[in-house]
Amino acid sequence: MKKIIFITVCTLSLSVFAQEETTKVEIVNQFEGVEVLEKNELRLNALDLIVHPALSLSYERLVNDANGYGVSLFANFGDNDATYQNFALTPYYRFYFLNRKDFGASGLFVEAFSSFSSVNFYDSYTSDNDKDEFQFSMGVGLGKKWVNRNGFTFELLAGVGRYFISRDTENNYPPEAHGRFGLSIGKRF
């Protein structure tokens, strides 16, 4: 009987000590901030290269996993009537949303931009059919960016801007709005 009581007391004491140990579970929030190691990004807009012979390069500096600013340079090398921008310098600021990956500054983004451009307009109402002018515009864009483990990026962008220098509003010369589209491939460094 003493052996049974002794075994019962030992078993109970072991179970009491075993229950005192607590297991800690850490819950990780998938939306918490991510440290971005590469802060610079260089991109080539393949859409401009394919649609018309133009070169469009972008540089972006990442502030953190949710913000970035940069500048795009557009140079048109063709003589296409559909393309009226000859040269454009476009600074922008981006706000990234839904950063669920480890790389930061990726996913859905909204962009605010301005554009300083040399524009060639076709005016059928005057004897001078081609007019080169300087234009200033501001606009917004929406896009999505993907980043892989090696730092290569792929980006889709669509936006619209409004010109502020307008001389002939009766004949809609020059157009009041312009598009900003991109299908870009880049690299973070």
Domain at 43, CATH number: 2.40.160.20
Q: Which pLDDT score is estimated for 25?
A: 45
Please state the domain count of the chain: 1
Please give the DSSP secondary-structure letter assigned to residue 102.
Answer: S
Residue 115 has pLDDT above 70, yes or no: yes
Digit-coded pLDDT (tens) for 16-50: 555 445 554 444 445 455 555 689 999 999 998 89
Taking the C-alpha atoms of residue 162 and residue 177, their distance in angstroms, rounded to an integer, is: 4
Whether pTM exceeds 0.75: no
**145-to-67, 74, 96 alpha-carbon distances in Å:** 13, 20, 9
20: domain range? 2-188
Q: Residue 82 — pLDDT band, cuts 50, 70, 90? A: low
Poorest-pLDDT segment among 88-97, 98-107, 156-165: 98-107
